[in-house]
Amino acid sequence: MAMERTSSNISREDDQQNGNGEKRSTDAAELESVERIFESKKVPSWQNQLTLRAFVVSFILGILFTFIVMKLNLTTGIIPSLNVSAGLLGFFFVKTWTKFLDKSGLLKQPFTRQENTVIQTCVVATSGIAFSGGFGSYLFGMSEIIAKQSHEANAEQNTKNPSLVWMITFLFVVSFLGLFSVVPLRKIMIIDFKLIYPSGTATAHLINSFHTPQGAKLAKKQVRALGKFFSFSFLWGFFQWFFTGGDGCGFSSFPTFGLKAYENKFYFDFSATYVGVGMICPYLINVSLLVGSILSWGIMWPLINEKKGDWYPADLKSSSLHGLQGYRVFIGIAMILGDGLYNFVKVLGHTLYGLYHQFKDHRFNPNTPITGNSPPDLPSLSYDDQKRARLFLKDQIPVWIAITGYFTIAIVSAATLPHIFHQLKWYYIATIYIFAPALAFCNAYGCGLTDWSLASTYGKLAIFVIGAWVGGENGGVLAGLAACGVMMNIVATASDLTQDFKTGYMTLASPRSMFVSQVVGTAMGCVISPCVFWLFYKAFDDLGIPGSEYPAPYALVYRNMAILGVEGFSALPSRCLTLCYIFFAFAIFVNGIRDSVGNNWARFIPIPMAMAIPFYIGGYFAIDMCVGSLILYIWSRVNKAKADAFGPAVASGLICGDGIWTLPSSILALAGVNPPICMKFLSRSSNIKVDNFLNP
């Protein structure tokens, strides 16, 4: 999950070269140099960075991480950054491979950090499609399963059930445009503007450290820890399966805090995945989730439930959006939209402010390049940056390839998509593609400043604009959801690629190898993700149903956003609109307070976007994540160095083991093999009734 990090002029490091910065001693600079450590190692050509073994390992890890992301998508929609896990496992697999070949005398090419970067890029690109492909949001929101829950705009022209053929075709025609849209801007982003890209920078530091003698030893220990907790998590998932022989059975339905709290979604469900996610996510995110759970399921929903018959009809089904369920969904949507609007304006402001200063500085200092391929003023740079800049500018990707690729794919996409979604006419698609490069640039630039990708926010913007343009009678709901997919894939892949360029810049990986790796990973994801989703779709009959193992909460949220865009506020229950206004304003207000008080105080103020997630789902996963935070906090107090070194590895093991268990559990479900035991918890009075029924 992308995290917001406030920043002011972090992209303008060139402005900090004056004053004391120039007085740093040469010795100190050399001590800080990373590239001097690798000075004796030859940097392979961009073709040699793209090895067969790298793509084989990427394919295997891509499948693993796609299962993990898909499970997270279909349960809560909270997805942590998996870059560390991808880099670590990539290092482990290829290092093991090369060690075996070296002992047998068959090793022709040693394992380099550039190849490690290619693997990490390819794996993240592959698993990223599981998110941007909308399998837990807009794409699944088109299905009849989700449409039946909304009871609005569920006619045939506004629904489309999943199918492998159209899902794979759709992803192939929309997932590559974002890559070509930012290629011409790579030098401006990385060298001229010196954007930080915190996640890309952190990943590069990690990969560089793996390939030092000390880092390699630590990496082996980290992999060992990951393996232990992977095994534990997998076996724990297998053990739990035996007790899930019915609805509401098993450890995942354990009423930890009593049956009344269980009814209001407050319980610890023994999920190794979300304990691991909680160890990776910052404390503030986990606390925000818990605060949102208490506010909604602990206070608001019980109070609104008492208004049954007044605020909404008493005879409605629990799943009806005209009843309590409507309040849960639409108030959550209002907070998400308020948070999204605030951060959109904020990041756009950062982007425009940063661009203004970049071009202003260029005007007063014409020797500083902003466009073109001319090298920067290398003598003013550190040794590391000189070497990185030279190699980064050496392997150029011709601009004509980017432009030709963009227009070719855009034409193919505009011709193909109307055959998949007849509601989405070619001119709607052409309109999106006209504005998409500018939005992709804004997202990539904003991500470099704040580490926050607003891909889903741009997708929601497309839902409202295209949905309202098409209209409800012409299938505006389905057209809006499809347009969301087009926009999300463009802006998400654009920011991902620029992150990868930053990682490649810091590990001396060629921009060409980064681009090819991203293209190959995206192509893998366009096939792997639909196949993994199809396995879930066929294996679990209750997929997408509230209260099931895989409720896919964001699918209903996105569909209802599309309904709002088409039908307006008539879809809301009575008094819900007033509450939506209040919580929309509340999200903006809280974000404003967070930014105005400074970082020291902002860390104690909950994040509205995180608070909104439990409004519909419940608080059980927030408790899991807080348990993960508590484990990491205690570990840090006891031994901070070990917690920092092994915490991400332990968390990744917990996530990966439980995530990969979904593969055998899906196969068992498809084969008709059901768990043999149902472990269920009843109140004393219910238990007496059951006993009397069984033993009359």
Helix axes of 620-638 and 608-617: crossing angle, nearest 10 degrees: 130
CB 568 within 8 A of CB 246: no
Lowest mean pLDDT among 115-124, 413-422, 443-452, 613-622: 443-452
Largest CA distance in the chain: 93
Q: What is the DSSP string of 599-654?
A: HHHHTTS--HHHHHHHHHH-SHHHHHHHHHHHHHHHHHHH-HHHHHHHHHHHHHHH
Note the pLDDT tens digit of each residue in 427-469: 999 999 998 888 888 788 777 766 667 788 788 888 988 988 9
Exposed / middle / buried, residue 6 (Cβ in 10 Å: 0-12, 13-18, 19+):
middle
Mean pLDDT of the chain: 83
Residues in the chain: 696
Residue 75 has pLDDT above 90, yes or no: no
Which of 477, 491, 610 has its CA nearest to residue 160?
A: 477
What is the CB neighbour count within 10 angstroms for residue 103?
A: 9
Which of 136, 484, 130, 532 has its CA nearest to residue 340?
A: 484
Residue with tokens 């709002």: 564
Residue 11 has pLDDT above 50, yes or no: no
Distance CA 276, CA 271 (A): 9
Please give the share of the chain, as a percent, with pLDDT higher than 90. 29
Note the pLDDT tens digit of each residue in 38-49: 888 889 999 999
CB 389 within 8 A of CB 378: yes
The arithmetic mean of pLDDT across residues 14-40, rounded, is: 50
Lowest mean pLDDT among 108-122, 179-193, 524-538: 179-193
Which of 489, 579, 564 has its CA nearest to residue 525?
A: 489
Distance CA 656, CA 658 (A): 6
Distance CA 78, CA 62 (A): 19
Element spanning 590, H or E: helix 576-597
Residue 83 has pLDDT above 90, yes or no: no
Across-strand partners of 244?
A: 678
User: Between the CA atoms of 281, 284, 287 and 289, what dihedral angle is there, to the nearest 10 degrees?
Assistant: -70
Distance CA 190, CA 132 (A): 24
What is the CB neighbour count within 10 angstroms for residue 408?
A: 12
What type of residue is 521?
G
Note the pLDDT tens digit of each residue in 111-121: 899 999 999 99
How does residue 122 score in pLDDT terms, banded at 50, 70 and 90?
very high
Rg (the chain; Cα; Å): 26
Distance CA 155, CA 359 (A): 52
The arithmetic mean of pLDDT across residues 144-166, rounded, is: 84
CB 179 within 8 A of CB 497: yes
Alpha-carbon separation of residue 484 from 76, 203, 428, 619 (angstroms): 20, 29, 12, 28
Distance CA 536, CA 133 (A): 15
Residue 31 has pLDDT above 70, yes or no: no
**Contacts with 493 (C-beta within 8 Å, 6 or more apart), sequence order:** 125, 128, 132, 175, 176, 177, 178, 179, 518, 522
Note the pLDDT tens digit of each residue in 366-379: 544 444 444 555 55
Exposed / middle / buried, residue 40 (Cβ in 10 Å: 0-12, 13-18, 19+):
exposed
